[in-house]
Amino acid sequence: MLTNALNAISSSLMQTYNRAPIQLVKGKGSFVWDQNGVKYLDFTSGIATCNLGHVPESVKQALIQQLDQLWHCSNLYQIGTQEQLATLLTVNSCFDQVFFCNSGAEANEAAIKLVRIYANNGNSKNSTIVTFKQSFHGRTLATLTATGQEKVQKGFSPLIPGFQYLPYNDLEALDQLINIQPCAVMLEMIQGEGGVISANQEWVQKLVSICHKQSILLIVDEVQTGLARTGTLFAYEHYQFEPDIMTLAKGLGSGFPIGAMLAKNEVAKAFVPGTHGSTFGGNPLAATAGLATLETIFSTNLLSTIQEKINRLWSKLKEVKQKHSLVKEIRGKGLLIGIVLEKEANQLVELARQEHLLILTAGPNVIRILPPLTVNDDEINQFFDIFNRILSEVEEL
Ligand SMILES: Cc1ncc(COP(=O)(O)O)c(C=O)c1O
């Protein structure tokens, strides 16, 4: 019976991903190995998750110790590491309080609930939330509604009411906020999934100014940009403003699932016992992974050493653009990099994999590279050797 069933379908997994035909079974630093022992240079970092490289020793040791102590306890009890992690996050950002969950979508869901309850407590005329076209905020019903991409929303109607979308980086369109009068605006400082597009400084300044004047809350979704990915601990630090709310996930646990929603006191106090919760959110194992990750970022001075790597990588990227007509534009910030091509990006991803290099796309013609923040010079050189070679190959086709 079982064999028949297995023969009838190639996999019992729901087909929600186009998976590459390799199974990764081991990782260390910037490298992963497949089931046949083939070694790959990983410039995807699990899509901006393994920021400290694969299996970072300090996080591993902290998790091993915690595995011996306590795996889980309910949030109805105090969790010491969760308190410590919240303190470390708030001391190093402009926020005062943290809610822990398990993923980026859940962190955004929490942010959406927080601004709604804050608005409905009499702090805003309406509970509409404005987000931006090409944004990506997650796959739950509320967060896919917040996502400004039809392809993500298609087939899931009816969507959640109370969302409106404006074009990203469009100065004039921001004037519409005055008519819409939303309770909040949610944005990524760099649209990662949407094609690695950075928010323009002037546009952010105008957005912040309107939001302050109109008492509109600002939520930054730093699920992809957070935890030093762009060269600062959080990407909003590249812009001169303080958001009211920030969401994190991916890089926070070095691969262990954890998400967080941070808010300033004035807004955070709208959440009281019973308004929101999560069984696993910030449990002892997840909080330990988060705490060890953040402590490692600070104890290794990552934020000061990373700038040199970023400069090196970007100067080599400039050379790539000069050398290859296939490359139209290089964009992004820090180690969240988009390489816009004249052709479809998928082909290059395949070729790279054949050369044992893992890279990503961000839209049909954008290659996205997300090296670990611990990447060294040899690995950077190895990347450019392969990347230049496959670009030439595609150019010759
Ligand atoms: C900016 C942003 N927000 C939210 C999410 C959703 O995070 P998760 O997949 O952990 O739910 C992602 C995932 O790629 C993201 O890039």
Cα separation, 226 vs 337, in Å, equals 14
CATH architecture of 2-56+305-395: Alpha-Beta Complex (3.90)
What is the pLDDT at residue 6? 45
Q: Answer whether 100 contacts ligand 1 (Cβ < 6 A).
A: no
Q: Which two tokens stand for residue 50?
A: 């393994």
Mean pLDDT on 65-92: 98
What is the pLDDT at residue 125? 84
Ligand 1 geometric centre to CA of 108 (Å): 9
What is the pLDDT at residue 3? 45
What is the number of the ligand 1 atom nearest to the C-alpha of 47? 14
Domain spans, the chain: 2-56+305-395, 58-299
What is the pLDDT at residue 8? 46
Torsion angle of the four alpha carbons 339, 343, 349, 353, in this order, in degrees rounded to the nearest 10: -120
Mutate-to-test residue for ligand 1 from 136, 246, 248, highest number of ligand atoms within 8 A of CB: 136
Cα separation, 91 vs 80, in Å, equals 17
Q: Is the pLDDT of residue 93 over 50?
A: yes
Residue 43: count other Cβ atoms within 10 Å of its Cβ. 26
Q: Answer whether 246 contacts ligand 1 (Cβ < 6 A).
A: no
What is the pLDDT at residue 22? 96
Give the β-pairing of 259-263 and 197-198: unpaired
Mutate-to-test residue for ligand 1 from 137, 229, 252, highest number of ligand atoms within 8 A of CB: 137
Q: What is the pLDDT of residues 258-316, one digit of tens each?
A: 999 999 999 999 999 999 999 999 999 999 999 999 999 999 999 999 999 999 999 99
Is 3.40.50.2300 the CATH number for 58-299?
Answer: no
Torsion angle of the four alpha carbons 135, 137, 140, 144, in this order, in degrees rounded to the nearest 10: -10
Q: Is the pTM of this model over 0.85?
A: yes
What is the number of the ligand 1 atom nearest to the C-alpha of 188? 1
Q: Answer whether 105 contacts ligand 1 (Cβ < 6 A).
A: yes
Q: Answer whether 148 contacts ligand 1 (Cβ < 6 A).
A: no
What is the pLDDT at residue 397? 83
Q: Answer whether 109 contacts ligand 1 (Cβ < 6 A).
A: no
What is the number of the ligand 1 atom nearest to the C-alpha of 193? 16
Q: 259: which DSSP letter?
A: E
Q: Is the pLDDT of residue 2 over 90?
A: no
Ligand 1 geometric centre to CA of 2 (Å): 36
pLDDT band at 9 (very low <50, low <70, confident <90, very high): low
Ligand 1 geometric centre to CA of 104 (Å): 5
Q: Answer whether 372 contacts ligand 1 (Cβ < 6 A).
A: no
Ligand 1 geometric centre to CA of 62 (Å): 26
For the chain, what is the mean pLDDT?
Answer: 96
Q: What is the pLDDT of residues 360-388, one digit of tens each?
A: 999 999 999 999 999 999 999 999 999 99
Please give the residue that has the higher pLDDT: either 7 or 59: 59
Q: Which two tokens stand for residue 296?
A: 């490692």
Cα separation, 42 vs 68, in Å, equals 31
Q: How far is CA 303 from CA 95, 255, 257, in A?
A: 20, 20, 23
The answer to whether the CB of 215 falls within 8 A of the CB of 241 is no
What is the pLDDT at residue 80? 98
Q: Answer whether 137 contacts ligand 1 (Cβ < 6 A).
A: yes
Q: Give the max Cα distance, the chain.
A: 67
CA 218 and chain centroid, separation: 18
Ligand 1 geometric centre to CA of 115 (Å): 19
Cα separation, 59 vs 365, in Å, equals 36
Q: Is the pLDDT of residue 317 over 50?
A: yes
Write down the residue that tokens 């070679």 correspond to: 389
Q: Is the pLDDT of residue 5 over 50?
A: no
What is the pLDDT at residue 10? 75
